[in-house]
Amino acid sequence: MPSQGILSINEVNALPVENFEWLFGNVIEHCVEAASIIATKRPFFTSKDLKKAFDDYLEKLNTTEKESVLSRHPDLAGKLAEEGKLTAESLNEQKLAGLDAMTKDEKQILSNNNYLYREKFRFPFIICARENKVKSILVGLESRLKNSKEVEIKTAIEEVKKICRIRINDLVWPDVQ
């Protein structure tokens, strides 16, 4: 079921910068600087415009900056999850994907492939967990291990955009049609 948000776009536009940064500082995982930049682009006429501003922010980053954004994401069902140190958003997303209820074999496969992925690409595997379940995550991870680094950066950034849009949906009312 789609989220209904908590604020109208007009309320988003009226937020003091500090409140905007606090509210939107994790729509891209641990990336308050994105929220700081996007705050300066107000007013937005629709939530779609707000989402596009975050998409554009990600697109305009150079390769090193994109890798930095990707590196801020946690491993799926990794150490941070085991230690209870995920952000509230990541915890909820991983739980909705069923990562907290994996079998022992699934956990081992995910752990092994997370390791191989991080070794190859130097950032964690990122997939929009709210659009996937355990099986599709495992298949996606195995498949994406075959990508070049260039392709994987592009693919992972597209997944970050999906995550960001869903997180914005959690915060902002849908546009009136």
User: Which residues are known catalytic residues?
Assistant: 73
Number of other residues whose CB lies within 10 A of the CB of residue 167 = 22
- Please state, in angstroms and rounded to a whole number, the distance separating the CA atoms of residues 60 and 72: 18
Task: List the one residue out of 104, 103, 105, 115 whose CA is nearest residue 76.
Answer: 115
